Structure 1
Amino acid sequence: MDQPSSVPTPPEPEEQAGEIFGPTNWQPYERRRFLSTCVTMIISGLSGYAAHPYLVGNRRQEFAAFLEEKWQDLNNPRQRKNRPLHATNDLNEDRRFTNTPSRFRPITLDQDGLAYQSFLYSLNLCHIKPIELLRPHFKTLGNVNNHLPPRELWKNIAPTLRVADALREKLNAPLISINSAFRSTAYNSACPGAAPQSYHTRNMALDLVYACSPEKVFAAAQALRSQGLFKGGIGVYSSFTHIDTRGRNAEWGSTPKIAKA
């Protein structure tokens, strides 16, 4: 009697799954998904970068200052408490940063500069960092270099800094830069339009740029002055606002809305 023909055994489920979803068919899908994820992340990152200034203001200056302080902390672990910088006082001698915009260059300080930096930290300002005040003292006009104020004038800037700090709070707008703080007599003479007896030479004045119009800063400073926070001068210009604590009120401006005094 003939033996019954054997019936072919169906493949195991694992083998079927391997044929349908195995590596040969799975890899193209994985590549497409990976590329799609990368493109999505790039688009999201660019969109976030573009929208950031409109959502929370331009914080690039503050972020650069934060990174600079952290970098200096890493380079000087034993003196991290005071966050010291390099022990020289001439930015032009540091050729590593000649192609870097001045507002992002690491500033360099001698021992008096480090002491002035510690003094600024002791003021415990809420928003203004010492590095933001230190930068204007390393500017150059022609062949004239500015420098840090002498020790006997250090305390003069404290009231004006507190006004600038209060303005930052009232405006709810970032401080972009301090264009000018103390000016040496020679440097002040080189500044176009500077008064010979400018309060900058007494370390009592600041030229401030906030992330809003100078007219808005002027109005906010007037409000703080009327509340008794300070007595001093307020000047509005096309790109910055001048604040000083001279002890008597004065105001002037370069726009028709502000009466000159």
Structure 2
Amino acid sequence: MSFNKTLFEDFVGSLGLNFFNANELLVGRYRPDNGPPPLTLWHNIVPTILILDHLREHLGVGVKLISAYRTEAYNDPSKNAGRAPLSQHQAFTAIDFRVTGMKPDAIVPILRGWENKEWFWSPIDFQRKPVKVSKGNIPFGEMPRKVSAGVLGCWFTFRGFVKPYMKHNFTHLDTRGVLAGEDDDGE
């Protein structure tokens, strides 16, 4: 199935984001061996981008997305050193980003402080899908959430992984739905 950009724009528009758009979520789609996320994975990014939208509002400064979805071919660690074979980017649950005027190690405590504590609103009741790649199953679980009868959308809490990459000045955020250890490689 070919990628329908208009449909993707409509989907992202339905999320009520204040600071991000569909084009930003397609960062890197034209890189060799990469492409846009398949329709089946679109719901996977919902909690991640909503948390980043909240972070942008919380900080009051710009947030630039530098990596989101990656195909398995593009993510291949044998071609791209440092990439995790079971990267959350392949499940479209991860975003790497930079914050204007802030170092990654200053961002991490804010996001970790929200884990399993802060509730975020999604205007859609997202239905995420686990992903299997040739190297195995990408770690995946559900986000704790509350759904109210007769109300569209849901509340969810952040459960995932945050890692600062000081050398390259970016932060990795994913919403894998399971808590990751400090030594985990979320890339």
The TM-score, its normalising length taken from structure 2, stands at 0.69
Deviations 1:1-28 (A, max 9, x none): xxxxxxxxxxxxxxxxxxxxxxxxxxxx
Secondary structure, counterpart of 2:97 in structure 1: strand
Letter of the 1:224 counterpart: W
Give percent identity, aligned residues only: 33
Flag the structure with more relative contact order, 1 or 2, with Cα contacts below 8 A and sequence separation at least 6: 2
2:38 equivalent to 1:150: yes
Match of 1:166 among 33, 39, 54: 54
Equivalent residue runs for 1:1-261 within 5 Å: 112-138=4-30, 140=31, 144-175=32-63, 177-189=64-76, 190-211=79-100, 212-228=102-118, 229-238=157-166, 239-250=169-180, 252=182, 260-261=183-184
Secondary structure, counterpart of 2:111 in structure 1: helix
Q: How many residues align?
A: 140
* Aligned equivalents of 1:113, 1:192: Cα separation in 2: 30
Change (3 A) 1:192 1:112: same
Mark the runs of 5 or more structure 2 residues left unpaired by the alignment. Answer: 119-156
Change (3 A) 1:192 1:220: same
What's the CA shift for 1:242? 0.5
* Aligned equivalents of 1:132, 1:210: Cα separation in 2: 14
* Structural RMSD (CA): 1.7
* Aligned equivalents of 1:117, 1:129: Cα separation in 2: 8
* Aligned equivalents of 1:243, 1:220: Cα separation in 2: 12
* Aligned equivalents of 1:174, 1:215: Cα separation in 2: 16
What's the CA shift for 1:126? 1.4
* Aligned equivalents of 2:37, 2:55: Cα separation in 1: 24
Mark the runs of 5 or more structure 1 residues left unpaired by the alignment. Answer: 1-109, 253-259
* Aligned equivalents of 1:224, 1:151: Cα separation in 2: 29
* Aligned equivalents of 2:176, 2:52: Cα separation in 1: 15
Q: Is the 2:48–2:173 Cα contact (8 Å) retained in structure 1? A: yes
Q: Is the 1:233–1:249 Cα contact (8 Å) retained in structure 2? A: yes
Change (3 A) 1:136 1:249: same
* Aligned equivalents of 1:180, 1:191: Cα separation in 2: 14
What's the CA shift for 1:122? 1.1
* Aligned equivalents of 2:159, 2:165: Cα separation in 1: 20
Secondary structure, counterpart of 1:209 in structure 2: strand
Secondary structure, counterpart of 1:137 in structure 2: coil
User: Larger % of strand: which?
Assistant: 2
What's the CA shift for 1:226? 4.7
What's the CA shift for 1:118? 1.5
